[in-house]
């Protein structure tokens, strides 16, 4: 038998052994027979010494090729067994992912808080800070400083809830001018006054928060609701600045299709005063039932801060001018989701709250 | 305020598309709430009531036979009972489409045929009167189309919302003035000439005792009065503007008020001794019987009209007295056209509940300079509408009180331009102001003009007020827009950011934010077992159930959970942040207001609250210390603890008292956490930015120790001792197992702690770990009734 025949026979025998294995374990068991010095092919290395020097290289190559062939056959068998093992393993691990059991959901912020934070974020983006103040206020901060002295007829615009301070209560129309009535703020404007008192201009701030009116709850009124007001006091602030700021806010909050406009109005704390309307968000200005076919909906009030208010807060109205604006947060929340009844937001029914 | 185009046109040649005119008025600050073009209302005709019969099967409707032209009467079922046989009424024939879109059809009502509809003024869109069928003047032709017959076709009615600072716009003439200026057409109030005879001297006299109350009182004596129906055109205008026609004298009075904004009153001269009228303020204890036969008690600030005997005969600007009321037999009257102090009218009318079209105008301030014109207009109209005319006696009686000073304001063109954000020229300002009655004069300064405020604009006093007038007539929308920029970046304060973080921790733990009513009933405090010495009460609550400001977030959240339980939402895990109130002796008078965070978790034991606190602690990097305390207000008497950060108590947690839960009909345990949010946030701010510990690269060793510990010792005390004893190699320490069993001694439970030890600079040897372990065991056993469990 030639050297080459011996090599071929040994190779065939090794491959035959590989073919007889059935899994990784039996494959592993025959590995000493396939590789290394003790294997048949390894044993044939001795033939190298038995042939001529010139034939040695050819025999060496034949041996190498045979070894490579066996190695490939072994590798292929190993891969095959690993794959079938993995398949078997995966099959045992199969899951129905829809079998997940009930677990508590993540919670939710109240719709009003979500709306308030959205508004704050828009104004922060426009360079404003956010200011806060107490909900129980003095008559001075809620009314008098805002150019609403005790007998001012416009006070009747605000149905005010007063606190009972026992003997310290001074109720009535406070004609003595020394009224120290304590009340629940009817707007967040007292925060504006407090900011102006304590901060030197320039001021760019918004005052979101809870406000109170002596109003019976119905679909569009609550005795407790939320407002955001804005205040800018700086050199050379104009009515055009107010219009531009409200436009910028409107586009940022409602989107580019919605714009704002000003209409002359009256508030004791601003002069000139305006109502600001935005494009109807339902019909985008085409005219619909919500906007009474005008294409506009009234959002809030605004104007240039009245010089008396600036003076009351110790701000020189010749050097500084300012504008202020305000609108309801609850109504924005209703508008966004088409909620019909304001009271639904305050029943605290989790079936309502967890929708937002 | 409603205005009619044809009426406006008596003052200025106003023309244009009705909706464009509406836009102009809105843009001038007179917001148009409705624009109505008066249509021919085809199918509505004048009909005569031929017969009235009860409906055989219904009490609330009657059968009416109406006659149109000479045809047979037609039977109609009608729900109104105010007409009589022979009356002329508006009748909508079958097929008529009413202004509200309803089509009239023939139908049976409880067995009786109805062949059309008798109409009220409101149903025809001719006013607000819903009470009964409109009764038409006698001279109309039956069968004629109603709107043509009334002369209304094509006229336009606008409903305007007038701001409190625009007394001038509470009149047809005032609206015309504003609109004419915008449209650049001339405006004029005519001089109404009336012939007079004789002398008024001795017939009437006026005396003002309080000139502040009554800046001006103008009167005139009229004779030969016959009280009858006013003409159709006048009745229609009044109806359209929302007033009900009464009789010729009352209608003329209302017409003048609507037209010129000047409320007025007539006295039967024969009931005024010597024709004398005085004006003064009421004194305590006085009373008067008003026109509506009500006895009214007066107060010292009320304005009063008195007779020669100083007896009240009218409440100034609010309502006349019964004693001088005109009647069918009245022949001579004194017309009053007075101006009143707005605040006095506002107070009196509000207190007496007598708000009217007249008081609404007086409250805003009427024009004292139009008095004589208005009296002339009254005389002129009454003369015109009274068959045979009336006799106007002598001169106008005109007495002044303290008339307002004429105000001229220096107005800087530069200031107006700055305030409005557009460069105006002095000439532009002048051209905008002059047409609305502001006289503008030059001054020595190029920049300054002197603007004289007209008497019909008492609201306008300063340069800033003038700026609004300039802006209004220039157009707010045309001013342009600019955006001012803060020199600083916008930002939330650290407190505001942390409040948001804390709310996120709550929602992350599965809690839903609730917003309960902050107003409580007085019982709510005891119902929640809270102890509040003096809660903050409202002086004028809407209801007793909402008369106390919450001293705690507990009652509100309990109510919210109870609401959810009653709606089968048993998974009510709620939280709230917001202020609670307590009485304070602070000199400002303000109650103490502190912001709290509270969570109420239904169907959970106290450890749901501690777990929530741990979430907060790890997010805010705060260490909270708990101390078990029995009987915390509102809490389960043996499942409650106070929460400290260092020495400062910041809240409490545990479970709600089962007795409290029962009173709210909540059947499950509820975990409760309450924190002073302000204190927690301040503490969190103080640890922000504290430097970090580099992670050690050396291996760590774990030591688990279980102790049998007497129940009187808090687990946290053992933990504290371990923490101290372990020293600086302690990397983490937590309680991982608690158990109670019969294998342990009575009153003892097992607490197992897991400690991880690690040095910064070396690998701890077994020996070193053993030393720490031993130190910990000894420390615990020495300090507490505790022993290591083998
Ligand atoms: Zn719309």
pLDDT in tens, B556-589: 999 999 999 999 988 899 999 999 999 988 888 8
Where on the phi/psi map is residue B603: left (φ > 0), alpha (ψ -120 to 50), or beta?
A: left
C-alpha to C-alpha distance for B605 and A304, rounded to whole angstroms: 55
* Chain B CB within 8 Å of residue A223 CB: yes
Contact B12, B187 (CB under 8 A): yes
C-alpha A34/C-alpha A32 separation (Å) is 5
**Least CB–CB distance from A171: residue in B363, B539, B574:** B539
Ligand 1 centre distance from Cα of residue A97 (Å): 46
pTM: 0.86
**Contact at CB, B467 and A272, closer than 8 angstroms:** yes
Contacts with B601 from chain A: Cβ below 8 Å:
none
Instruction: Give CA–CA dist B9/B237, Å, rounded.
Output: 13
Per-residue confidence (pLDDT) for residue A178, from 0 to 100: 45
Cβ separation A107–B575 shorter than 8 A = yes
Q: How far apart are CA A327 and CA A226, in angstroms?
A: 9
Chain pair A-B, CB pairs under 8 angstroms: 241
Residues of B in contact with A141 (CB under 8 A): none
Q: Are strands B635-645 and A296-305 parallel, antiparallel or unpaired?
A: unpaired
On whether the CB atoms of residues A263 and B472 are closer than 8 A, the answer is no
Closest partner residue to A247 (CB to CB) among B28, B481, B487 is: B481
Given CB atoms, is A170 within the 8 Å cutoff of chain B?
A: no
Give the pLDDT confidence score for residue A49 in this predicted structure: 79
pLDDT at A170: 53
Cis before B470 (ω within 30): no
Distance CA B117, CA B105 (A): 9
Q: Taking CB atoms and an 8 Å cutoff, what residues of chain B touch A136?
A: 536, 549, 581, 590-591, 593
DSSP for B273-328, written as a single string: GGGEEEEEE--TT-EEEBTTS-EEE--TTSEEEE-TTS-EEEETTTEEBGGG---T
Mutation site, A350, A352, A354, A355, interface B, largest B CB count within 10 A: A350
Min CA distance, A97 vs chain B (Å)? 23
Q: Compute the average pLDDT of residues B395-399.
A: 92
Residues facing A304 on adjacent strands:
A323
Candidate from B343, B472, B573 with C-beta closest to A264:
B472
- Check CB contact under 8 Å for B471 and A224: no
Which of A120, A245, A266 lies at the smallest CB-CB distance from B164? Answer: A266
Q: Do A130 and B489 touch (CB under 8 A)?
A: no
Phi/psi at B138 (5° precision): -60, -35
Mean pLDDT over residues B503-521, rounded? 97
Ligand 1 (ion): which residues have CB within 5 A?
A 280, 282-283, 288, 290-291
Residues A243 and A262: beta-carbon distance below 8 Å: yes
Asked if A144 has any chain B CB less than 8 Å from its own CB, the reply is: no
Select from A232, A238, A275 the Cβ nearest to the Cβ of B421: A238
Pairing of strands B391-400, B303-306: unpaired
Q: Compute the distance between CA of residue B729 and CA of residue B607 in angstroms, rounded to an integer.
A: 30
Rounded alpha-carbon distances, angstroms, from residue B529 to B94, B460, B564, B631 = 70, 57, 21, 10
Is cis: bond before B435, omega within 30 of 0? no
Q: Give me ligand 1 centre to Cα B533, in Å.
A: 53
Q: Distance (Å) from the C-alpha of residue A238 to the closest C-alpha of chain B?
A: 5
pLDDT at B690: 81
Residue with the two structure tokens 């020199």: B487
CA distance A79 to A27: 11
pLDDT tier, B52 (very low <50, low <70, confident <90, very high otherwise): very high
At residue B629, the pLDDT reads 96
pLDDT at A175 (0 to 100): 42
B590 vs A138: CB contact, 8 Å cut-off?
A: yes
Contact indicator for B368, B404 with CB cutoff of 8 Å: yes
Q: Do A261 and B477 touch (CB under 8 A)?
A: yes
- For residues B730-746, give the mean pLDDT: 92
HSE, side-chain direction, 13 A CA sphere, residue B552: 27
The answer to whether the Cβ–Cβ distance between B163 and A349 falls below 8 Å is no
Q: Convert the pLDDT of each residue in B167-205 to its tens digit.
A: 999 999 999 999 999 999 999 999 898 888 888 788 899
Structure tokens at A204: 């760019």
Give A-chain residues touching B342 at CB under 8 angstroms.
Answer: 153
Residue A356 in contact with partner chain B when CB distance is under 8 A: no
Distance in Å, CA A283 to ligand 1 centroid:
4
Tell how far the Cα of A297 is from the centroid of ligand 1, in angstroms: 7
Q: What pLDDT score was predicted for residue A117?
A: 97
Helix (H) or strand (E) segment spanning residue B573 = strand B573-582
- Is B672:B642 a contact under the CB 8 Å cutoff? no
In angstroms, the CA A271 to CA B475 distance is: 15
pLDDT tens sequence for chain A (356 residues) = 788 888 898 899 999 999 999 999 999 999 988 888 888 888 888 877 788 888 888 888 888 898 999 999 999 999 999 999 999 999 999 988 888 887 777 899 999 999 999 999 999 999 999 999 999 999 999 999 999 987 776 776 778 999 987 765 554 444 444 446 899 999 999 999 999 999 999 999 999 999 999 999 999 899 999 999 999 999 999 999 999 999 999 999 999 899 999 999 999 999 999 999 999 988 998 988 888 888 899 999 999 999 999 999 999 999 999 999 999 999 999 988 989 999 999 999 999 999 99
CA A122 – ligand 1 centroid, Å: 24
Distance from CA of A213 to the nearest CA of B (A): 10
CA of B29 to the centre of ligand 1 (A): 21
């Amino acid at each position: 038998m030639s050297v080459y025949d011996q090599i071929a026979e040994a190779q065939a025998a090794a491959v035959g052994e590989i073919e007889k294995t059935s899994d990784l374990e039996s494959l592993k068991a025959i590995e000493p027979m396939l590789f290394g010095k003790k294997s048949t092919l390894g044993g044939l290395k001795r033939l190298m010494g038995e042939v001529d020097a010139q034939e040695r290289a050819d025999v060496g190559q034949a041996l190498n090729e045979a070894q490579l062939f066996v190695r490939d056959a072994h590798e292929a068998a190993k891969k095959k067994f690993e794959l079938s093992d993995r398949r078997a393993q995966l099959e045992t691990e199969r899951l129905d992912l829809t079998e997940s059991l009930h677990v508590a959901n993540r919670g939710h912020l109240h719709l009003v808080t979500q709306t308030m934070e959205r508004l704050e974020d828009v104004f922060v983006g426009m360079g404003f800070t956010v200011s806060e103040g107490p909900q129980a206020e003095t008559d001075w901060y809620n009314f008098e400083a805002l150019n609403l002295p005790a007998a001012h007829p416009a006070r009747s615009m605000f149905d005010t809830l007063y606190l009972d301070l026992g003997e310290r209560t001074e109720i009535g129309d406070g004609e003595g001018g020394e009224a120290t009535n304590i009340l629940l703020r009817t707007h967040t404007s007292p925060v504006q006054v407090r900011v102006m008192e304590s901060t030197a201009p320039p001021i760019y701030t918004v005052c979101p928060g809870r406000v109170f009116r002596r109003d019976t709850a119905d679909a569009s009124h609550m005795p407790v609701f939320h407002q955001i007001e804005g205040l800018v006091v700086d050199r050379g602030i104009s009515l055009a600045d107010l219009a531009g700021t409200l436009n910028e806010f409107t586009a940022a909050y409602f989107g580019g299709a919605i714009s704002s406009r000003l209409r002359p109005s009256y508030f004791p704390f601003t002069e000139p005063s305006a109502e600001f309307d935005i494009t109807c968000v339902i019909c985008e200005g085409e005219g619909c039932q919500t906007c009474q076919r005008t294409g506009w909906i009234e959002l809030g009030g605004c104007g240039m801060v009245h010089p008396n208010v600036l003076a009351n807060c110790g701000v020189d109205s010749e050097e500084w001018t300012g504008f202020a604006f305000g609108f309801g947060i609850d109504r924005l929340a209703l508008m966004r989701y088409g909620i019909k009844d304001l009271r639904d937001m305050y029943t605290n029914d989790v079936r309502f709250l967890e929708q937002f | 305020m409603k205005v009619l185009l044809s009426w406006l046109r008596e003052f200025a040649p106003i023309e244009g598309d009705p909706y464009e005119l509406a836009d102009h008025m809105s843009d001038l600050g007179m917001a148009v709430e409705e624009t109505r073009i008066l249509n021919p209302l085809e199918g509505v005709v004048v009909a005569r009531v031929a017969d009235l019969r009860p409906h055989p099967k219904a009490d609330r409707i009657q059968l009416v036979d109406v006659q149109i032209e000479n045809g047979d009467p037609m039977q109609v079922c009608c729900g109104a009972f105010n007409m009589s046989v022979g009356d002329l009424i508006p009748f909508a024939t079958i097929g008529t489409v009413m202004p509200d879109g309803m089509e009239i059809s023939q139908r049976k009502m409880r067995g009786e045929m109805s062949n059309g509809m008798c109409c009220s003024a409101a149903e025809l869109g001719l006013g607000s009167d819903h009470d009964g069928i409109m009764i038409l003047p006698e001279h109309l032709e039956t069968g004629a189309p109603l709107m043509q017959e009334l002369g209304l076709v094509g006229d336009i009615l606008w409903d305007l919302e007038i701001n409190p600072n625009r007394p001038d716009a509470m009149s047809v003439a005032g609206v015309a003035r504003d609109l004419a200026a915008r449209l650049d057409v001339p405006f004029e109030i005519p001089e109404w000439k009336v012939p007079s005879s004789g002398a008024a001297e001795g017939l009437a006299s006026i005396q003002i005792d309080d000139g502040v109350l009554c800046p001006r009182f103008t009167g005139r004596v009229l004779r030969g009065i016959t009280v009858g129906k006013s003409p159709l055109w006048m009745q229609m205008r009044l109806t359209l503007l929302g007033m009900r026609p009464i009789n010729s004298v009352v209608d003329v009075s209302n017409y003048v008020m609507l037209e010129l904004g000047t409320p007025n009153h007539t006295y039967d001269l024969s009931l005024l001794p010597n024709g004398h009228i005085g004006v003064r303020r009421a004194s305590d204890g006085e009373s008067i019987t008003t026109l509506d036969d009500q006895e009214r008690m007066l107060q010292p600030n009320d304005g009063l009209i008195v007779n020669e005997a100083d007896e009240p005969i009218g409440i100034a600007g609010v309502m006349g007295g019964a004693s001088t009321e005109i009647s069918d037999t009245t022949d001579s009257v004194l017309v009053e056209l007075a101006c009143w102090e707005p605040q006095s009218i506002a107070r009196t009318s509000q207190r007496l509940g007598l708000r009217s079209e007249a008081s609404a105008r007086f409250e805003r301030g009427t024009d004292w300079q139009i008095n004589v014109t208005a009296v002339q207009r009254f005389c002129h109209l009454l003369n015109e509408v009274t068959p045979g005319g009336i006799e106007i006696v002598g001169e106008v009686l005109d007495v002044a009180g303290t008339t307002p000073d004429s105000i001229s304001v220096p107005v800087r063109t530069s200031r107006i331009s700055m305030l409005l954000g557009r460069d105006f020229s002095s000439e532009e300002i002048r051209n905008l102001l002059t047409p609305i009655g502001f006289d503008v004069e030059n001054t020595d300064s190029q920049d300054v003009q002197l603007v004289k405020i007209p008497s019909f604009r008492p609201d306008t006093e300063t340069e800033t007020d003038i700026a609004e007038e300039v802006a209004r007539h220039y157009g707010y929308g045309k001013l342009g827009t600019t955006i001012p920029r803060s020199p600083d970046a916008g930002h939330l304060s650290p407190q505001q950011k942390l409040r948001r973080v804390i709310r996120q921790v709550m929602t992350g733990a599965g809690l839903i934010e609730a917003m309960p009513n902050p107003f409580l009933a007085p019982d709510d405090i005891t119902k929640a077992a809270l102890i509040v010495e003096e809660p903050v009460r409202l002086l004028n609550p809407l209801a007793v159930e909402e008369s106390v400001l919450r001293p705690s977030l507990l009652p509100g959240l309990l109510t919210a959970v109870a609401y959810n339980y009653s709606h089968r939402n048993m998974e009510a895990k709620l939280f709230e942040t917001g202020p609670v109130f307590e009485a304070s002796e602070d000199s400002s008078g303000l109650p103490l207001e502190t912001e709290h965070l509270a969570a109420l978790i239904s169907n959970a034991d106290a450890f749901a609250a501690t777990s929530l606190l741990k979430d907060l602690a790890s997010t805010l990097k705060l260490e909270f210390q708990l101390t078990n305390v029995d009987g915390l207000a509102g809490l389960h008497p043996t499942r409650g603890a106070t929460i400290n950060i260092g020495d400062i108590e910041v809240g409490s947690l545990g479970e709600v008292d089962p007795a409290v839960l029962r009173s709210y009909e909540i059947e499950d345990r509820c975990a409760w956490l309450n924190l002073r949010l302000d204190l927690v946030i301040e503490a969190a701010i103080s640890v922000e930015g504290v430097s970090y510990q580099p992670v050690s690269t050396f291996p760590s060793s774990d030591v688990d120790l279980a102790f049998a510990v007497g129940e009187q010792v808090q687990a946290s005390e053992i933990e504290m001792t371990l923490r101290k004893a372990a020293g600086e190699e302690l990397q983490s320490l937590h309680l991982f197992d608690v158990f109670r069993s019969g294998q342990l001694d009575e009153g003892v439970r097992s607490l197992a702690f897991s400690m991880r030890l690690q040095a910064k600079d070396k690998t701890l040897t077994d020996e070193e770990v053993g030393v720490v372990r031993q130190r910990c065991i000894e420390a615990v056993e020495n300090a507490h009734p505790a022993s290591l469990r083998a």
